[in-house]
Chains A and B, each alone.
Chain A
Amino acid sequence: MTIEEKLKILTDGAKYDAACTSSGVARIASEGGMGSTSMGGICHAFSGDGRCISLLKILLSNACCYDCAYCVNRVSNDVPRATFTAEEIASLTMNMYRRYYIEGLFLSSGVLGTPDNTTQQMIKALELLRVKYKFCGYIHAKAIPGTSPDLLERLGRLADRVSSNIELPSSASLRLLAPEKERRDVLAPMSYICMRHEDGGVRQGFVRAGQSTQMIIGATPESDLKIIRLTEGLYGRYKLKRVFYSAYIPVADNSLLPALDSKPPLLREHRLYQADWLMRFYHFKADEILDESHPYFNEFLDPKCNWAVNHPEFFPVDVNRASYETLLRVPGVGVKSARRIMVARKQRRLDIFQLAKLGVVVKRAKYFVEGGMGGKLNAADHPERVVRELIRGENARQLSLFDDKDAGSAPLLGGKEDIRAIARTGK
């Protein structure tokens, strides 16, 4: 088999993994070595689906002995199989890295007989890269569930980031669709890495950029509330750097899964990322974003706007006095613009025109700040009109996110009642 054919097969098997970040650690090339990493990570290109390409994302092998129903590489699937040698992986990585196509390597794999055997093969390839080729760029390695701790330790010293995929948002779904995978096998690498970090693992060069995970959205019946609570738990308990969500693309005709012609739930995935951001950077709790009586996201408003229109008592906010945390709650104000407001207001009083200069999206913020629209159109007094305007803006933004129009555009808006109903669908 030629290297071209192998690359095609083993890229095809890896593409459903959403994690492509190269962030979390900064270093420059060591003596005689090649490669550096940057704290914020680097996107080198964007593929035809608009997703970023940062790392050479490949499988070591797709000859998997497991039979997970949702996975394209399952043993019962009739697809061509291939396995890279360590030398092939190292040489591909080095040559693409030197041409600056990629920021490093993302290495995952199907299970080759046993988890330990698979991890050993991965370690061999990474050792070749790090030792023989003196590669100092970014490496993201997948922890295969069931790998023994001593192999995980070796893998973690070669890689900057390690991830173990939780795959599905509940153990019941995992049991149903991935009979060979146990929830505790998935969580074991996570706890090990978390434990090592608590006793100084980062300083010893162990998984310096932290760990991440991913789950498939829309293959199983969990609610959005359940998913964001799980996410909150993962960030809290295992100190994960990122949780990724991957809209399920039908890859199998199985009565337990959505039909083959069903569309990936892209809007839902998008809303989950927005909620994820709110929890990581905006001091939101999962239960503030959704609750038992509204367990699904509002289709028409992003979670932050949705929270704002449902909490009129919180607004209008006085940007000249409000705390940083309060500023972060204002739609249209981001982390950077909130910081700029904190700095700039020490020098002079800020009005709505100056907010625009500080990077605030006035189109959204104006309904929620004092003096925003001369007191006329604000969220407290005219909730329907504000919701209508916000939805109009949201539709324009979504046009570029989802080429497919029916993925999530609001219906033609009718009277006040419709708008009230929409505002309530979330929370």
Chain B
Amino acid sequence: MKENYNMTYIYDGTLEGLFTCVFRCYEDKYIPGAVITGMTLTPCAHIFTDKVKAARVRRGIYSKMGAASANIIFKAFLSDFEDKELAIIRFIVYGMKAGERVNGDLAHPDVARIREIFRAVNREANLTAERMTFSIIGDVMVSIIEPSHNVLPLIVKHFTNRFPNEEIFIYDKIHKLGVTWAHNKVTYREIEHFEPDPADEEEETYRKLWKIFYDTIEIKERHNPRLRDQNMPIRHRRKF
């Protein structure tokens, strides 16, 4: 499909909206130069989310490209990269033509880019889920995270598997999204601002014990803050 660099699509930021954009590409017979959620002064088209069209695109992805490709698309959509919409559209357009073969065509530019995004999201999800900590505030496990992609939906299962009988609240400060796990139920909420209650005495005790452990476990003769910072960027350290 040819490209029309002068055209910008504006959509509502939902996956269904983006799938509607894909549908529009086939109607217009070109791929736009940009797909955004905000406003622009350059030539643009507002794409209104159409559930029927989106469902057709979704079915097409599953039947032509397979479930593995669908999974890549869903995860890439959680990324914060500015070109994620275009990367997804290009991948779908190429995949509809190439079929399931698209899964192995790792060196094709449209496949390579979305896989790069996919890997970045996975990496950030893993890093976030590994490096975060909880504070126990009024018997609820509370954590605040600042991931560089919208990975909260990807990490929740890890914690519900590990702490099935606990009450958990995780807040993503960057994407303003909170998730609660209580009584075997996961609930997502958009939250503008969240301030946890101060730590109680027991919580302070364990923070202190952790600090003692952390400072003592280091072999001082091997002190290497550069290596530590490389392995553990600031954004993955405790937020409160």
A: which residues have CB within 8 A of B? 3-4, 7-8, 11-12, 14-16, 28-29, 32, 34-36, 38, 42-53, 56-57, 92, 95-96, 98-101, 137, 247, 249, 263-264, 266, 340, 343-348, 350, 354, 357-358, 400-403
CA A56 to CA B209, docked complex, whole Å: 11
- In whole Å, how far is A278's beta carbon from the nearest beta carbon of chain B? 22
Question: Does A347 lie within 8 Å of B104, measured CB to CB?
Answer: yes
In terms of DSSP, what is the predominant structure of the interface of chain B?
helix
CA A14 to CA B218, docked complex, whole Å: 10
Q: Nearest residue in B to A354 (C-beta to C-beta)?
A: B107
- In whole Å, how far is A337's beta carbon from the nearest beta carbon of chain B? 10
A-contact bits for B6-28, CB 8 A (1 contact / 0 none): 00000000000000000000000
Question: Does A8 lie within 8 Å of B231, measured CB to CB?
Answer: no
B: which residues have CB within 8 A of A? 101, 104-109, 112, 116, 129-136, 141, 143, 158, 161-166, 206, 208-210, 212-228, 230-232
Given contacts A48-B228, A50-B228, contact A3 B223 (CB under 8 A): no
What are the 10 A-B residue pairs with the smallest beta carbon separation, nearest first? A50-B227, A344-B106, A354-B107, A49-B222, A357-B112, A28-B161, A347-B105, A36-B162, A47-B218, A11-B216
Contact of A357 among B106, B222, B227 (CB under 8 A): B106
Contact of B223 among A14, A48, A96, A400 (CB under 8 A): A48
Question: Does A101 lie within 8 Å of B210, measured CB to CB?
Answer: yes
- In whole Å, how far is A246's beta carbon from the nearest beta carbon of chain B? 9
**Chain A residues whose CB sits within 8 angstroms of the CB of B208 once the complex forms:** 4
Q: Nearest residue in B to A246 (C-beta to C-beta)?
A: B219
Q: Nearest residue in A to B127 (C-beta to C-beta)?
A: A43
**Chain B residues whose CB sits within 8 angstroms of the CB of A44 once the complex forms:** 130-131, 133
Question: Does B105 lie within 8 Å of A348, measured CB to CB?
Answer: yes
**Chain B residues whose CB sits within 8 angstroms of the CB of A98 once the complex forms:** 134, 136, 141, 163, 166
Given contacts A49-B218, A249-B221, A403-B225, contact A346 B210 (CB under 8 A): no
Question: Does B104 lie within 8 Å of A346, measured CB to CB?
Answer: yes
Most A CB contacts (10 A, CB to CB) among B134, B216, B220 go to B216
- In whole Å, how far is B88's beta carbon from the nearest beta carbon of chain A? 18
Q: Nearest residue in B to A134 (C-beta to C-beta)?
A: B165
Question: Does B231 lie within 8 Å of A249, measured CB to CB?
Answer: no
Q: Nearest residue in B to A38 (C-beta to C-beta)?
A: B158
Given contacts A49-B218, A49-B222, contact A343 B106 (CB under 8 A): yes
Question: Does A50 lie within 8 Å of B224, measured CB to CB?
Answer: yes
Question: Does B224 lie within 8 Å of A43, measured CB to CB?
Answer: no
- In whole Å, how far is A62's beta carbon from the nearest beta carbon of chain B? 13
Q: Nearest residue in A to B215 (C-beta to C-beta)?
A: A48
Given contacts A343-B104, A358-B107, contact A50 B231 (CB under 8 A): yes
- In whole Å, how far is B29's beta carbon from the nearest beta carbon of chain A? 26
CA A239 to CA B134, docked complex, whole Å: 37
Given contacts A264-B222, A358-B106, contact A100 B227 (CB under 8 A): no
**Chain A residues whose CB sits within 8 angstroms of the CB of B132 once the complex forms:** 100
Given contacts A7-B209, A34-B166, contact A52 B231 (CB under 8 A): yes
Question: Does B228 lie within 8 Å of A46, measured CB to CB?
Answer: yes
Q: Nearest residue in B to A42 (C-beta to C-beta)?
A: B130
CA A79 to CA B208, docked complex, whole Å: 23
CA A16 to CA B107, docked complex, whole Å: 45
- In whole Å, how far is B164's beta carbon from the nearest beta carbon of chain A? 5
CA A266 to CA B222, docked complex, whole Å: 8
Q: Nearest residue in A to B216 (C-beta to C-beta)?
A: A11
List 29 A–B pairs whose Cβ atoms lie within 8 Å, in order of A's numbering.
Answer: A3-B209, A7-B213, A11-B212, A14-B217, A15-B217, A34-B162, A35-B162, A38-B158, A45-B131, A45-B214, A46-B231, A49-B219, A50-B227, A50-B228, A50-B231, A53-B214, A96-B209, A96-B213, A99-B134, A249-B219, A263-B221, A264-B219, A343-B104, A344-B106, A344-B107, A347-B101, A350-B107, A357-B106, A403-B225
**Chain B residues whose CB sits within 8 angstroms of the CB of A343 once the complex forms:** 104, 106
CA A357 to CA B219, docked complex, whole Å: 38
CA A249 to CA B219, docked complex, whole Å: 9
**Chain A residues whose CB sits within 8 angstroms of the CB of B162 once the complex forms:** 28-29, 34-36, 137
